Amino acid sequence: MKNVTVIGIQGVPAQYGGFESLVENLIGENRSEDIRYTVFCSGKDMKQRLPEYKGAMLKYVPLRANGVQSIPYDMISFLRTPKDTDVILVLGVSGCLILPLFRLFCRKKLIINIDGLEHRREKWGRAAKAFLKFSERMAIRYADVIISDNKGIQDYVREEYGRESVLIAYGGDHAIKEISPEKETEVLKKYGLKSDGYAVTVCRIEPENNCHLTLEAFSRSDRELVFIGNWSKSAYGQELKEKYSSFPNLHILDPIYDIDTLYALRKNAWTYVHGHSAGGTNPSLVEAMFFGKPILAYDVVYNRETTEGKAEYWHTSDELLKLVSDNSHDAAVLSSIANEKYTWKRIACQYENLY
């Protein structure tokens, strides 16, 4: 039996977020029988404090897993790592500044997924970016194994630090969940939509996800857009919602956690719009690929790598508007890529091979 401790997520059961979905699928039906997980969870964020979930032992830290509190949250998790742990899997670099000290008394195998170059995100100020860059440097220096979720990130680690990393993306087949035609009809009716009559976007409402460009393009189109995100979490989101809510073709929706509803909205859309410009392999993009719909993605190396250059790409609202006006996009190959590269069974096997 190999004991693996997971540090850096909000918790399971997964609610929202790529790392949470990753852990949900690592500890679930894809797990090998000879691996036992301990997962650190936020005592502030998780509504239920389950002692165990899908066979994994859950431990709680009385802090939030996001924002400034993520730093002490991760550090406390490191210090509370069970003694019988064989492998520590760290997701993100927030608390990695503790590693020089931690390595003095703990030599367990340390595997770190450095996520999507957090220090480059626009939402952080200069001091926060400097801190995150330092934490990233500590992660790269002290990790036994580094995981990059995208070839663009892998290239960055090699060029910036001279170290090789293992390329493992995210799975997305959990988004495919058959529901009854009656349920699909119910969802479409609830939001006043017609099958194949709208585009859909699901993301956190942040500047680097180019929500403003997506809304600007569709505000000048007669095509409908369903835009799902956490609008109330920032002034950026609140301002966009206020500016564009009056447009009849724009359905600006708060986060939707019900899997059946999300499935119905994605399945019946004619295209998926992906505006992320930062990070690596984005979970929502991988999930969208399984639906076999055309994808209109922001033109950065990460999105091109994920879709193997088979999506449609844009930089400006004018370019996106032009793509929205064109109905000739082919998407069959995207579903094939997803089923070959981004199933959770494959991803879980890749992680377990590192333990």
The structure tokens listed for 178 are: 């058959």
Q: What pTM was estimated for this model as a whole? A: 0.90
pLDDT tens digits along 312-350: 999 999 999 999 998 777 778 999 999 999 999 999 999
- Per residue in 248-293, pLDDT tens? 999 999 999 888 999 999 999 999 999 999 878 899 999 999 999 9
Where is pLDDT greater, at 125 or 206?
206
Q: What is the mean pLDDT of the chain?
A: 93
2-168 architecture in CATH?
3-Layer(aba) Sandwich (3.40)
The pLDDT tens digits of the residues spanning 95-134 come to 999 999 999 999 999 999 998 666 566 666 787 778 888 9
Q: How far apart are CA 126 and CA 23, in angstroms?
A: 31
Collect contacts of 239-247 with beta carbons under 8 A, ≥24 apart. Answer: 240/205, 240/211, 240/212, 240/215, 243/215, 244/215, 244/219, 247/218, 247/219
Q: How far apart are CA 14 and CA 341, in angstroms?
A: 22
What per-residue confidence (pLDDT) applies to 259?
86
CA atoms of 162 and 151, how far apart (whole Å): 15
Q: Which fold has domain 175-341?
A: Rossmann fold (3.40.50)
For 165, how many CA atoms within 13 A lie in the half-sphere containing its CB?
30
Domain segments of the chain as ranges: 2-168, 175-341
Summarised one tens digit per residue, pLDDT across range 27-51 is: 999 999 999 999 999 999 898 899 9
What's the angle, vertex CA 171, arms to CA 71 and CA 19, rounded to 5? 10
| SS3 (DSSP) at 324 | helix
Identical topology for domains 2-168 and 175-341: yes
Asked if 232 contacts 253 with a C-beta cutoff of 8 angstroms, the reply is no
Interatomic CA distance for residues 287 and 282, integer angstroms: 9
